[in-house]
Structure 1
Amino acid sequence: MVTRERDDLVIRVDGRRPLSAELVAAFEVLCDRVEDRADRNTVIMHVSGAPGEPSNEALTIALVSKWERALRRFERLPAATVAVASDECGGVALEALLATDYRIGTASLRLLMARRALVTWPGMALYRIVRQAGSAAARRAVLLGIPITAADAVATGLIDELTVDTQAALTAAMELAEAIPGPELAIRRQLMHDAPAVSFEEALGAHLAACERALRLSSAEAGR
């Protein structure tokens, strides 16, 4: 079940439920809210749950494509995205988690790659988990479906911290995130994501543009 609260800047994703048009719409609405509200720059996501036995629910490539586009839009928001993950986390919950900026987990957390029939679901969660944790760290989860424990998730950087007090950790993370303007964070995020995939020469133009922007902002701030 997906719910929204606190001016629609909190979203809950239940990995036990299959991908649906409702879930895609919830993310699109959330993105609309964030992009329309320059004064709010933190989104909170709660994720948990993993699919049970593979079912025969009607899942189309068109729906999967819409979901991946919605997640990519979410991943590029001019806002910090902070996730709280607990217990088993797989399916759409894992896919959403991997698109966030900062991730808080509980000791009971286990990340599970989704499976359909006899194969690991080759969605973009596979891409993100390998890109973020490295192929060696992700190999057993991707190839054999072995869960990633909370400790391993922290060791590989998939989870930023483990806590028994998720509310305190969430409050601390929000205080850090809200000190950075959303557009500035979005630029840093994009430069970071591009760095492993492009050459120095390709990256230089975008970094110079970002440097020029930073100089303009500093100059404007000094002139006040």
Structure 2
Amino acid sequence: MLDLRGLSELTGALIERINTACDGAGSAGDIALVLVLGGEGTGPAWPGPVGIHAVNRWEKALRRVERLGALTVAAVSGRCVGPAVELLLTTDYRVAAPDTVLRVAADSGGAWPGMVLHRLATQIGAGRARGLALSGATVSMAKATTLGLVDDVAEDPHTHALSAVKAGGLVAGPELAVRRGLVLDAVTTSFEEALGAHLAACDRELRRTMAIPGVGV
């Protein structure tokens, strides 16, 4: 579990914590990496006084979470803005407390123009993403679940998320990253380009579940 509540500024320490958590999840063969998010204050607009190299390192860390071999889970409560929203959008399974409020745009104006806008558009569509990015509107949990930004709402999101992982109701294992990658790449890949990767994944699954010898059908 990585507790990242109360984030306000982009720092080297924050990036290092995320990379270390990814290293640990990969080397230990963990079935899940749980991120606890929310509780941001109204401090300086994200990401704070940093250079573009720090932003690049941050985006690379987010991409590691997004492509991690382990299942990634977000447990969110309270005010979720800036870095918490960016991390939320990289995870596979998202649980939020009923009082959680999401806000894409910064307190000082429009949304931070990082890859958060790209993820938002690919996940909920450009039209809906545009409204959230430009208006500065807050998103209630009722709307967040409708948009698909949050999967479940629970009084204790952390406990609920851990229970779902332990119950085995979520996909895990070595093929998780393959399935996630196929979904993420579908937005920018044509049917013809994607077919080979999907067939390869199907062949691996057939071999795993049915022990079919040879090269498949």
Q: 1:22 to 1:53 in 2, by over 3 A?
A: closer
2:137 is matched with 146
Cα distance in 2, alignment partners of residues 107 and 200 from structure 1: 39
Q: Percent identity?
A: 38
Aligned AA (1:160): D
Offset, 1:12: 1.5
Aligned AA (1:85): V
SS at match of 1:125: helix
SS at match of 1:43: strand
Listed one character per residue, the Cα deviations across residues 51-82 of structure 1 (whole Å, up to 9, x for unaligned) are 52535942111001001001101111111111
RMSD: 2.3
1:126 is matched with 117
Offset, 1:214: 1.3
Offset, 1:182: 2.6
Offset, 1:175: 2.7
2:93 is matched with 102
2:76 is matched with 85
1:170 is matched with 161
More strand by share: 1
Q: 1:176 to 1:68 in 2, by over 3 A?
A: farther
Aligned AA (2:57): K
Counterpart pick for 2:175 among 160, 164, 184: 184
- The 5 Å alignment of 1:2-21 reads 10-21=1-12
Cα distance in 2, alignment partners of residues 76 and 57 from structure 1: 26
Cα distance in 1, alignment partners of residues 173 and 60 from structure 2: 20
Task: Provide TM-score, normalisation by structure 2.
Answer: 0.88
Moved more, 114-123 or 206-215: 114-123
1:205 is matched with 196
- Give 5+ residue unaligned stretches, structure 2: none
SS at match of 1:120: coil
Cα distance in 1, alignment partners of residues 125 and 167 from structure 2: 27
Aligned AA (1:47): L
Offset, 1:15: 4.7
Aligned AA (2:56): S
Aligned AA (2:35): M
- The 5 Å alignment of 1:60-79 reads 60-79=51-70
Aligned residue pairs total: 212
Q: Is the 8 A contact 2:77 2:157 kept in 1?
A: no
Task: Provide TM-score, normalisation by structure 1.
Answer: 0.86
